[in-house]
Structure 1
Amino acid sequence: MTDFLLIRHGETAWNRELRFQGQLDVPLNHMDLQQAQRLKTRMAQVLGEWQVQGRLPTRLISSDLQRAQQTAQPVAEVLGHPCILNAGLREQCYGMFEGMRSPDIQAQHPEAWQRWLAFDADVAVAGAETTRAFHIRVMMALQDLALQYAGEHVVVVTHGGVLDMVWRHAQALSLNGPRVCDIPNAGLNQVAWHDGALHIQVWADAAHLADLPEQPVYSQKRLLDARGQTYVSGVA
């Protein structure tokens, strides 16, 4: 078994502006200075708990995008481990949508926006990665880490989309449809890789951020798809 502590990167200006970031290399904003200090304090607490349990973290892995690397820095200071970069943990590529807000996409690319709203795992807009291809990439990256560091306790700093794939995989949920789980910036998620499967132990733990300003969350209005089902999306 391999234990993972998965951390979503801290807030960026584009999170606050509700822009699609994808694989554009956006840095953290001023809010994450507070989030980073809280995360550092919380990691010291987690380290103490794991030490008592004989589960000291042995590795720190991060997406190679700078918002993840910057979030990983205070974690590295607590753990005393160098940060290993892994491009397989990057956010999903959103192609032509990257850098844009949804109102702008709706105005400039209405047909592409409607394709996006179908939440079809096998359909992508120009230049983007399908959700299915993204899921395969993420699961291969985690499986490789689980096998490479079998029996260890690994801290990973990554992105909201990656964590959505982890949630869906562990819960055996469809890749179609909008995101349904909470994934706060700088939140903690504990999962275990055991016998080739992911098992969620703790999810969306953001107690260390409780009194900070409310985080920006990209939430679509209720949408009625062609089959008459109502979706509420929370894609950050």
Structure 2
Amino acid sequence: MSELWLIRHGETDWNRTRRMQGSLNVGLNALGRSQADQVAARLGTLAASETFHAIYSSDLDRAHTTAKPAAAALGLEITLDPGLRERNYGVMQGLDRQEIDLLLPEAAAAWKSRDPDREIPGGETLRAFHDRVVGTLARIGVAHRGQRVLIFTHGGVLDIAYRHATGVGFAAERNHLLLNASINRIVLDSDTWQVVEWANDSHLTEAADEVSPY
């Protein structure tokens, strides 16, 4: 059994303006950097009673920067893993929702359909993204059996992990939160995944709004 603590990166300006980030590198804004420090403080406090054995992060800056204060507080090295990246949204990346609908109606329709095999030009299908995320998290779980691992990642990755653990299908409407700098815990026991805590942002002095998860 492994316990994975999935932590979404801190806020970016693109989150706030609902601009599609995907696999592009976008830095944290001032609030996001503060959120990273607050997550680190919470984890540092928990370390008195909970042992954290490893830290993994997406190699995109917004996740890696969020992970750095926690790594310093816990005295752990960060392992960068591109398997933890946000979904590649291809031609939609860099555009806001209105621009996507106006300029790329076919890509917008493909994205909104949640058809797992419908392609977005230049991007990943939903099924390919799912398989990448589940495979990456399972691999980390196997490498750290009996351990507690921190994973700094993205809203889309959290969504896939939650759906896989709870059996919520690709097409189902999302009814779970994907909050910046939130702590989300999943236990992996062989092929069984269980959500034990979700969207905990009690460590933040200012509660996180659910800004764009992409």
**Is the TM value for this pair above 0.5?**
yes
* Residue in structure 1 matching 2:92, options 97, 114, 121: 97
Distance in 1, Cα, partners of 2:142 & 2:208: 38
Q: Indicate the SS of the match to 2:146.
A: coil
* Residue in structure 1 matching 2:209, options 215, 223, 231: 215
Confirm or deny that 1:206 pairs with 2:197.
no
AA aligned to 1:109 is L
Higher relative contact order (CA 8 A, sep 6+): 2
Confirm or deny that 1:74 pairs with 2:63.
no
Change over 3 Å in CA distance of 1:216–1:182 after alignment to 2: closer
Match of 1:60 in 2: 55
Q: How many matched pairs?
A: 214
Match of 1:187 in 2: 182
Distance in 2, Cα, partners of 1:190 & 1:213: 19
Distance in 2, Cα, partners of 1:208 & 1:12: 19
Query: Which runs of no fewer than 5 residues in structure 1 stay unpaired?
Result: 51-55, 219-234
Match of 1:232 in 2: none
* Residue in structure 2 matching 1:109, options 104, 121, 133: 104
Match of 1:32 in 2: 32
Query: Which runs of no fewer than 5 residues in structure 2 stay unpaired?
Result: none
Distance in 1, Cα, partners of 2:121 & 2:172: 19
AA aligned to 2:157 is V
Distance in 2, Cα, partners of 1:83 & 1:213: 26
TM norm structure 2: 0.95
The 4+ residue runs of structure 1 with deviation greater than 3 A are: none
RMSD: 1.5
**Rg bigger for which structure?**
1
TM norm structure 1: 0.86
Between the aligned residues of both structures, percent identity stands at 37
Instruction: Give 1:214 shift.
Output: 5.0
Distance in 2, Cα, partners of 1:85 & 1:10: 17
Match of 2:122 in 1: 127
Q: Is the Cα contact below 8 Å between 1:8 and 1:157 reproduced in 2?
A: yes
Match of 1:158 in 2: 153
Distance in 1, Cα, partners of 2:72 & 2:208: 27
Distance in 1, Cα, partners of 2:199 & 2:208: 15
